[in-house]
Chain A
Amino acid sequence: LKGVCRIVVENEKNMKYAYYPGCSAESTARDQYVSVREVARVLGIDLIEPKGWTCCGATPAHNTDRDLSIGLPAANLLIAKSMGLDMVVFCAACYNRMKMANYEIRSNPDRRKELAVLLGEDYDGSVEVHHFVEVLVKNVGMKKLQEAFTHSLDGLKVASYYGCLLVRPKLATNFDDPENPTIMDSLVTLMGGESIDWPHKVECCGGGFALTRTDIVVELSNSILGMAKAAGAQCIAVACPMCQVNLDLRQSDIKKVKNINHNLPVVYITQLIGLCLGLSPAQLGMHKCVVSPKPVIELVRSNERRDVL
């Protein structure tokens, strides 16, 4: 019995993380936040927000100032360090910035010293940063996930879209293969869906220019949506809030500028997982999608697994 208790305790400890939602979780990507929270709750993953977390600085910081580009993400990693937990992130930009901060601090002792002055505290780059999808696949495990699914994606063709900042640069993020990542595809397959093979998995959607250069965003998003459609996708699964907003919201602009109506739902991978875990679309914030994900929801609803009942 002692042994069992120890396993349970260790398991509990392994499933506890500091969770950095990122600024977009409070605004444009509220749906991402609620779907991550709900999926974590069902699977028994304990996500604790670092108290008083601040912005990672994203692209404007590294465009402007070297100190801020490392200092802002490191400030949050220091909070996670004081909590004694690994950091879990969903936003690809935050993930990238934190991994880059760790990478620079670990490989450049001078930068570490400069940073200690900036933060008023030494940070050694020791807090491990994981993407939520990595936690699902590597720590929760495919077996436990499969057992938890009550519905399947049977009959749904999904294009897994990774974007740039998760996979690049491999040196720092070490997320998956930088040219042909498959981690989300493996989740889609596990859920019973058909993960399509397509060449635009890691193309850039233009996220950083969402406000400034919408002409570039329309161009790049159109090429991604067009390729997904040509490959036969019925929806795109994403793991980044910027990609979701861009690909979803810009479809109306593409229609206006290019006269192409893609009408392709863009959902978070956590929303698909949530549906397969039997959660309601409202719980997963799916009413926030601009292009209606109704066909996806209806299909999953009709795919209840009989063997688990």
Chain B
Amino acid sequence: MAMVIGKVKSGAGLLNSVREISGVDVAECLQCKKCTNGCPVVPMVKVPPSEVIRRLQFATDDSIAQADLVWMCLSCELCFSRCPMNIDMAAVMDALRIISVRNHKAKQKGNVPLFNRLFLKTVSIFGRTYDLGMIAAYKIGTSSFLQDMGKFPTMLQKRKIALFPSFKADKKYIRRIFRRRK
């Protein structure tokens, strides 16, 4: 697979941030491509996991934090599990997502960052997730009201989704954790 690499000064900065956040040393990668061959979303992405690592190794420009894989990675950990060098690729992807959100450059199909924010918001409020509230907020945020709407009658009829949030969680404790995090 051919790839074009444009070297700019800021590249090493990204490599350092990834290392700092994930604690992973990407220099150990042998480019065996087991991660890419197993990754379930590779048929749908432009930049496969092995290329993400290669670009990080070469300390190329920051654009890799905007690669489509960053927000299409499912965190299924297959890459990490098969890596002969035990490189925690899933943690690298987490780091890239954190950097991408930090740089306000995470604008991709599906708006996963919004979903993540809403998920954690309901957790910080109720101590547990509240599906219905989260789904409603996500649909408002992404204007995707029609998507999956046909499923709600069945789900509600079968009580496959809770109408109300749970109030049994230790909310004080969880709020303290959210407050104290860096």
Q: A residues touching B (Cβ–Cβ < 8 Å)?
A: 23-24, 26-28, 30, 51-55, 57-69, 71-72, 75, 96, 108, 117-120, 164-165, 167-171, 178, 202-204, 206-209, 211-214, 216, 219-220, 245, 249, 252, 287-288, 290
A212 and B112 within 8 A (CB): yes
The residues of B that contact A108 with a CB separation of less than 8 Å are 23
* Docked-complex contact A214 and B119, CB < 8 angstroms: no
Chain A residues near B168 (CB-CB < 8 A): 52
The A-B contact count (CB < 8 A) is 166
9-residue interface stretch from B5-13, B47-55, B59-67, B159-167? B159-167
- Partner of A54 from B90, B109, B162, B170 at Cβ < 8 Å: B170
Known: A55-B128, A60-B120, A169-B80. A204 touches B74 (CB 8 A): yes
- A208–B75 CB distance below 8 A: yes
Interface residues, chain B, CB within 8 Å of chain A?
Answer: 21, 23, 40-41, 44, 72, 74-78, 80-81, 86, 88, 90, 94, 97-98, 101, 109-112, 115-117, 119-120, 123, 127-129, 131-132, 135, 138, 147-148, 150-151, 154-155, 158-162, 166, 168-170, 173-174, 176-178, 180-182
A64→B76 contact, CB < 8 A = no
Contact at B40–A220, with CB atoms within 8 Å? Answer: yes
Quick check: A68 and B177 within 8 Å, CB to CB? yes
Q: Can you list 5 A-B contacts with CB-CB less than 8 angstroms, sorted by A residue number?
A: A59-B116, A61-B120, A169-B90, A213-B72, A287-B158
Give the chain A neighbours of B178 by CB distance below 8 A: 68
The reply to whether A168 and B81 contact each other, CB–CB distance below 8 Å, is: yes
Given contacts A54-B169, A216-B41, A288-B158, is CB(A60)–CB(B76) below 8 Å? no
Q: Which residue of B lies closest to A245 (CB)?
A: B160
CB–CB B101/A64 < 8 A: yes
Please measure, in the bound complex, the distance between the C-alpha atom of A167 and the C-alpha atom of B131, giving whole angstroms.
26
What's the minimum C-beta distance from A29 to chain B, rounded to whole angstroms? 9
How far is B178's CA from A249's CA once the two chains are assembled, in angstroms?
33
Q: Which listed residue, A53, A63, A206, A214, touches B94 by the CB 8 Å rule?
A: A63
Complex-state Cα separation, A83 to B14, whole angstroms: 44
B81 touches A26 (CB 8 A): no
| Other-chain contact of A67, B117, B127, B162, B181 (Cβ < 8 Å) | B181
Interchain CB contact under 8 A, A66 and B21:
yes
- Most central of B101, B177, B180 by chain A CB within 10 Å: B177
Q: Is the CB of B123 within 8 A of A54?
A: yes
A203: chain B residues within 8 A (beta carbon) = 40
Interface of A, helix, strand, loop or mixed by DSSP: helix
**How far is B176's CA from A71's CA once the two chains are assembled, in angstroms?**
11
**Structural contact, A168 and B127, CB atoms closer than 8 A:** no
**Residue pair B112, A213 in contact (C-beta under 8 Å):** yes
Q: Which residues of B contact A290 (CB under 8 A)?
A: 154, 158, 160
Q: Give CA–CA (A119, B175) in the complex, Å.
A: 11
In the complex, the answer to whether B129 meets A55 with C-beta atoms within 8 Å is yes
Q: Which residue from A26, A59, A119, A211 sits with its C-beta under 8 Å from B75?
A: A59
Which residues in B have their C-beta under 8 angstroms from that of A178?
Answer: 81
Complex contacts, A209 vs chain B, CB 8 Å? 74, 110, 112
- A22 CB to nearest chain B CB (Å): 9
Q: How far is the CA of A155 from the CA of B90 in the complex (A)?
A: 41
In the complex, chain A residues whose CB is within 8 Å of the CB of B77 = 96, 164-165, 168-169
From A165, A213, A287, give the contact of B109 (CB < 8 A). Answer: A213
Closest Cβ of chain A to B69, distance in Å, is 12
Chain A residues within 8 Å of B111, by CB: 212
Q: Which residues from chain B contact A54 at a C-beta distance below 8 Å? A: 123, 127-128, 169-170, 173-174
Contacts A63-B94, A213-B72, A249-B151 given; indicate if A170 touches B21 (C-beta within 8 A). no
Partner among B76, B98, B123 whose Cβ is within 8 Å of the Cβ of A57: B123
- B151/A165 in contact, CB under 8 A: no
Q: Which residues of B contact A119 (CB under 8 A)?
A: 177
Q: Are B86 and A171 in contact (CB under 8 A)?
A: yes
- Does A117 lie within 8 Å of B181, measured CB to CB? no
CA distance A72 to B177 in the complex (A): 8
Instruction: Tell me the bound Cα distance from A196 to B89 in angstroms.
Output: 32
